[in-house]
Amino acid sequence: MTRSYYSNSIAAFLKDDETAIFGHLSKHHNHDLEALQKNAWTKQIKILKEALKSFDNGQIYFEFSIPRMGKRVDNVLIINDLIFVIEFKVGDTEYQKHSIEQVVDYCLDLKNFHEGSHHAKLIPLLVSTRAAAVANVFEVKDNLFEPLRANESNLSEAISLALKQSNGQAINASEWESSVYKPTPTIIEAAQALYKGHNVQEISRHDAGAINLSSTTDCITRIIETAKAESKKSICFLTGVPGAGKTLAGLNIANLRQKAHEDEHAVFLSGNGPLVEVLREALTRDKVEIAKANGEKLTRRNAEDATHQFIQNIHHFRDEYLGTNIRPDEKVVVFDEAQRAWEKEQVSSFMKRKRGIDDFDMSEPEFLISVMNRHTDWCTIVCLIGGGQEINTGEAGISEWLLALKNKYPDWDIHYSSLILTDDNYLSDESLRDWLKETATAESNLHLAVSVRSFRSEKVSELMHAILDGNNSRSSQLLSEIKSDFPIFLTRDLDAAKNWLRRKAKGTERIGLVASSGGLRLRPSGIDVKNEISAPNWFLNDEDDVRSSYYLEDVATEFDIQGLEIDWVCLAWDINFYFNNGQWKYQSFKGTSWQNINSDSKRTYLQNTYRVLLTRARQGLIIFVPEGDDRDYTRPKELYDGIVEYLKQCGIKEL
């Protein structure tokens, strides 16, 4: 598949007729060609012919595809060992900040996801055609240049000056162009791309090191089609390590079934309120922007209605069918983070307090299955299960789903990931394991084994498990294997942590501050975990908005960030979870003092809280541990020091 609308050697481009070049560009353009685009291409061709006439080697590309972002960069030039990524702003009289960030983002995308660009020198170059000439700084960090700026008159000069950084060796352009592209989008980017019509193969990794998400999709599709053909009811349990793409797989299934089989009314349901809010808002903003760019009239309300049908809150879905025998429209439902559905005691208490229902005696999984069981012919439930992800009191895990099926719905076809039988993080009940082996079908493609959140290293999840297991030797070994790809540091200075994040992030890479909701004594450090945030604002707004994660003022807790991720994370660590005498200790802050947590389930929730927080970063992590203060009995220095010493034993170095 060709990645660009037009490509040629620079020498051949200079000889090629301008009209012929324009024809190539027009032929590959899938949309109606607007006058603005025609004028932009015409101007680009003229400027580049003039700027490159003194260069007799290299390759040029027009409209080079950046699939993860769903966009095309105006031009790529390969000269010697340098790759120029050029964004034209025809008619602009200034070098706009957002335009600079845009071209830097293109370079980062190539650097991170395009195999041929991993170790190449990448030069972001913004051409604002009518802007004044400025002096460029030729700084290179990790093979990425500081962005260069040029106008239509001095573009040739900027390229010539950059070439002084060349070692004279030449990149093989054909090999570079055909090298593998392995995009790893955030779940927000993935939802936007799927909703626009991209398929999962275009936006996800498909290298041999990761189980192909399309294989999982094919497996679930086969289960749905069998249920449909044989008028059966089926349920499948998809497992995966943190960041392996469970939510992406679920969104993909719901999206594919909704578009290809409208009568099924497929829906993606999640009890994760912030995830639902963020994805809905991202899709709504995207839909409005696309309509605006295409000159179409679309109100925000209409855009919201469409996205809200695709992604729904599981509790709203549940409440719609309380006290009725109404059959749901949906034939295919995807339950995200199904392990977080409530056990019977929790949901019964909620129904009594909030809904005035005194006799509700089902767990949430049992009730949700009962709703879908109202269908007289067929239906399929897809449960996305994260191991060790329960973080709330009353969250049932997979066992309540299986108990409901075993005791009330034995006629349902069950398909499960084989990891459920071998990993205690999923299911520890031996009798349920035995029952599952006897009555259900194991599917190898229902487990996603490799984290693709941290695209720089697939061992980050394993490292965090080792840290939380108290295995400092294994942690140190794993860290030595990943530290060059995924930097992790410690600091006792919050300002130093924030500055580290700001230095690391390029373009629009997102930075943010996270902490446990139980970290109440982080407050003296200026971190108030009780201050509620708006997740859409925190995750989606830009760096000029004080409510965004970029400002490093509002902190996201495990409840805000579970299921989502950002590029560079600072985790503030409090002594609600501290290391002492070779093991983790658990406590909660009540009133004016810390109290030990003795309940096994509450200890598990707290450990899972830190598991969630430790696995939110895509590119790097810095852990801030306060110094403590022995004058304050709620912040004993010894306990904070114990956390730091253990993390150092795990191989994490202090900044």
DSSP code per residue over 136-154: PP--EETTEEPPEEE-TTT
Q: What is the distance between the alpha carbons of residues 45 and 8, in angstroms, rounded to a whole number?
A: 13
Record the tokens describing residue 230, joined without a space: 């044989």
Q: Which amino acid is at 609?
A: T
Q: Are 192 and 281 in contact (CB under 8 A)?
A: no
Helix 472-482 and helix 637-649, axial crossing angle in degrees, nearest 10? 60
Under the banding of pLDDT at 50, 70 and 90, the label for residue 388 is low
Give the model confidence (pLDDT) of 210-248 as tens digits: 446 778 889 999 999 999 999 999 999 999 876 677 888
Question: For residue 491, how many other CB atoms are within 10 A of its CB?
Answer: 19
Give percent above pLDDT 70 in the chain. Answer: 93
Residue 297's SS3 state is coil
> Average of pLDDT values for 451-470?
82
pLDDT at 33: 66
CA distances from 496 to 169, 491, 530, 625 (A): 39, 7, 23, 12
pLDDT at 550: 97
Under the banding of pLDDT at 50, 70 and 90, the label for residue 581 is very high
pLDDT at 455: 67
206, pLDDT greater than 60: no
pLDDT at 308: 84
389, pLDDT greater than 60: no
> Average of pLDDT values for 501-518?
96
pLDDT at 463: 95
Give the model confidence (pLDDT) of 139-182 as tens digits: 888 899 999 999 999 999 999 999 999 988 999 999 998 888 77
CATH architecture assignment, domain 209-272+313-448: 3-Layer(aba) Sandwich (3.40)
> Average of pLDDT values for 625-634?
97
Q: Which amino acid is at 292?
A: K
pLDDT at 201: 63
Instruction: Identify the residue with better confidence: 208 or 65.
Output: 65
Q: Are 562 and 384 in contact (CB under 8 A)?
A: no
User: Phi, psi at residue 152, to the nearest 5°?
Assistant: -70, -20
Q: Which residues lie closer than 8 Å to 212 by C-beta, 6 or more apart?
A: 206
pTM of the model: 0.82
Strands (E), 523-630: 555-556, 566-572, 577-580, 583-590, 593-596, 617-624
Residue range(s) occupied by CATH 3.40.50 in the chain = 209-272+313-448
Give percent above pLDDT 90 in the chain. Answer: 63
SS3 content of the chain, % helix, strand, coil (to 5): 45, 20, 35
Give the model confidence (pLDDT) of 333-372 as tens digits: 999 988 888 888 888 888 888 788 888 889 999 999 999 9
Q: What is the mean pLDDT of the chain?
A: 90
Q: Which amino acid is at 19?
A: T
Record the tokens describing residue 31, joined without a space: 């949309």
> Average of pLDDT values for 260-282?
89
> Average of pLDDT values for 255-264?
84
